[in-house]
Amino acid sequence: MYKLAFASSLVLVVLVSVTSCLKVCIWKKQKMLNDDGTYNVAETEKLVKAVFDTEVQPTLKKAFDECASANSKSFSLDNKCAGYKAFLDCKIKKFEEICEVKMEQ
C-alpha cells in the first residue's frame, strides 16, 4: 500500500500541477504528517523502508528529516501551504540527488 501511495504521489508531482495543500492531504493519509499537520518521524521511516531500496533508506530518511526540520516552522494551511511547498521542493531535490534521477515539475 505504501509503495502504491508513494508512487501515486510522485506521478502527481511529475504529471500534474498539484497544489501543496493537496499534498498535505496525501501525506496525512500516508501518515508522513500527523493529523495536526506536524511531521511524523516514525511513520516517515516506515514509508521510506517500505518504498526504497535498503542502500538509500538511511540517506533518504535523514534528508527528509532535514527538509522537515528546515521547513516545519512554516507548516500551516493558513499561508496557502507555503511551508509544505518548501518541504515538497526540498524532498524532491534530495530524492533527485540521492537516487540520481531528474523529475519534471
Polymer length in residues for the chain: 105
Per-residue pLDDT reduced to its tens digit, 47-105: 999 988 899 999 999 999 999 999 888 888 777 788 888 898 999 999 999 988 776 65
Question: 67 to each of 1, 2, 4, 23, 89, how far by Cα in Å?
Answer: 24, 20, 23, 15, 9
Q: Report the amino acid identity of residue 79.
A: N
- The domains of the chain are located at 2-99
- Asked if residue 39 lies in contact with residue 32, where contact means CB atoms within 8 angstroms, the answer is yes
The fold of 2-99 is Recoverin; domain 1 (1.10.238)
pLDDT of residue 104: 62
